[in-house]
Amino acid sequence: MIISGILLGLSTLLFLGPVLFYLLKSSMESGFKAGVAVASGIILGDIICVILVLSGGKYIIESEASQIWVALFAGILVLSIGLKYILKPDLNTEKKMKASRKSLLLYFTNGFLVNFVNPFVLPVWLGFVAYNQAKYDETETLISLTITLAIIFSTDLLKAFYAHKVIGLIRPARLRIIFRLFGVIMVLFAIRLLIYALF
């Protein structure tokens, strides 16, 4: 169960979604503390998903009406963040060491929302829980899932740490391109979410 938990956690490194690019951008834009705030919001969303799946609350979220509104909200949120990165990329990296409590709370909230309202996240946890329940008893399943969550949080912190470290090596012109590229990717994800909601 320990190996399963680790492998499932590491498998999430293969997932490319808006939450990854928001984590990297936040860390590059406002420093490691901002990245930690985003990672904390992300893991809270994952924990809530696990609790919902284990408690049966998944059926409420899986209802068609809920999925439509969740996808619409997620699409609008990710679209707004992506457009901000495209139209007004913040290249003032001097402020990265001065992230206020208010801005850290905003990073935390956005990290949570971008992850939790993504309608593609819950099915991943449904699969992880089903896999564990097919192999282990209740206690072992909880241990395995806890390890998976710990691995996800740890790897997100590593992403934030290294994104923060490389920022000083990137010229402003290239940084603008990178931030706008992140924005384009997030807009594409937003379009996918909106299409999912509407059709």
pLDDT, tens digit (0-9, with 9 covering 90-100), for 71-110: 777 788 888 888 887 877 665 555 555 566 668 898 999 9
Helices (H), 136-171: 138-166
Average pLDDT, stretch 41-59?
A: 85
Tell which wins on pLDDT, 58 or 125: 125
Reported as half-sphere exposure (CB side, CA atoms, 13 A), residue 29 has a value of: 23
User: Rounded CA gap, 52 and 30, in Å?
Assistant: 32
12-21, 125-134, 138-147: lowest mean pLDDT where? 12-21
Average pLDDT, stretch 52-65?
A: 68
Where are the strands (E) in the chain, listed by range? none
Tell which wins on pLDDT, 70 or 44: 44
* Res. 44 pLDDT band, cuts 50 70 90: very high
100 φ, ψ to 5°?
-80, 165
Average pLDDT, stretch 18-45?
A: 89
User: Rounded CA gap, 19 and 43, in Å?
Assistant: 11
User: Rounded CA gap, 175 and 92, in Å?
Assistant: 10
Cβ neighbour number for residue 53 with a 10 Å cutoff: 21
What pLDDT, on a 0 to 100 scale, did the predictor assign at position 123? 82
What separation, in Å, do the N-terminal and C-terminal C-alpha atoms of the chain show?
Answer: 39
AA letter at 184: V
pTM of the model: 0.80
> Hey, which of 132-141, 144-153, 178-187 has the most confident mean pLDDT?
144-153
Residue-by-residue DSSP string for 53-73: HHHTTHHHHTSHHHHHHHHHH
AA letter at 110: N
